[in-house]
Structure 1
């Protein structure tokens, strides 16, 4: 059995199929770990989600910010963004099943018997991996609960951006969603910044990539993440693996085979 990690698919289904064929992925014995943002800016979001659902237990998914926004849009908490291609999903005959499947996906997956974790955006510098997993599980429980709509309505907002200031259940929930699905840069004290999406070299000096501030990644903990296309797979911390390589923006999809760290690449088709 081989375990493959992939970053933001973003509805690039044709490229996904070609990439899996290139790697000789076998759904009967291999696992595909998807670091969130399965949908949105590409034109084949419905095909992507249906395929991942069809993989059953061979697919290990974490939710990204676009996946959560799709859930919020379905529940009429937000309007569809013009640049998103979600109409096919929202009008699909199986949309209810798709939304239930999405809501039941976690925010963090841990590789069995290894200190290897996957979330969409990374690991907050203010958290240990144990705290991150605990908070992710709490948020996951709320999102899949009968009170899903109420909690999804509370995830929007940028405060608190510091874990030490998250006192109420709502504040802890919002911080958890933001840290695990929206984070890129942090301030020196570890608090989250939501404005800068640049490369680390072109960012303001007072901002640092989350993976340069995390002490946890120096303690044999490895983290798989997507979300940050500007990195194009380049990460200064050897224990962090950046897998969003901007396929939907004209870049490519990257697939990482875990046991030998071999990468497979599929460029965006014209």
Structure 2
């Protein structure tokens, strides 16, 4: 869609070149949402593509994902063989159920900044203990866990002028065993429920609930819980008011499937690693 209110597009090549943020500005990465509907309040776009950030960087501590990394680039990533959880990356990419055109333009950072419950990059980065690194307008930097970055539908932890620079995934989380469950109301529908369980090398168990809830919910155990313990923790962590309600699923269905999938994940990760 043409945005006929845009008067200026600037393309800073580095952080020093970024203009002072003003009302009517928007940061442009992939633009798959930005150009999908009218944006009458916008007057200037700050195009991040000229920054040429490396999409993916393997470090000794884990993986750095630039906010401008596309879904296609992330899906094509060849992880080190010891990263047991690496197949989860592709599973979450395919939870988009989008065309190749979207895959080649949509960005990881854009998915997080939209903060929609069904955002699969939110699911991935939250489950792998991701941290959002945000640039602030005055030159500072803020670190926020992904589970805290997404505060509700369309409510990212961003202030005017903030830029999500990258998402860091720690090596320890990338080396965990995992189990993935997803459901939608139609074969090509948006995720209505998406749960990921991980188990650390020391036996700890983490369950991350997304899509069925208004924001990500993460429950940690030092051990693999029994079924009743997991059920009780879910009841406390997710009150009925936190289950999302839209055309992609009613709250009671989302609650039911969350409990079903949580137990399936627990049972799967109870079995010895193959």
RCO greater where, 1 or 2, for CA within 8 Å and sep 6 or more?
1
Compute the TM-score of the two structures, normalised by the length of structure 1: 0.27
TM-score (norm 2): 0.27
Task: Indicate the structure with greater helix content.
Answer: 1
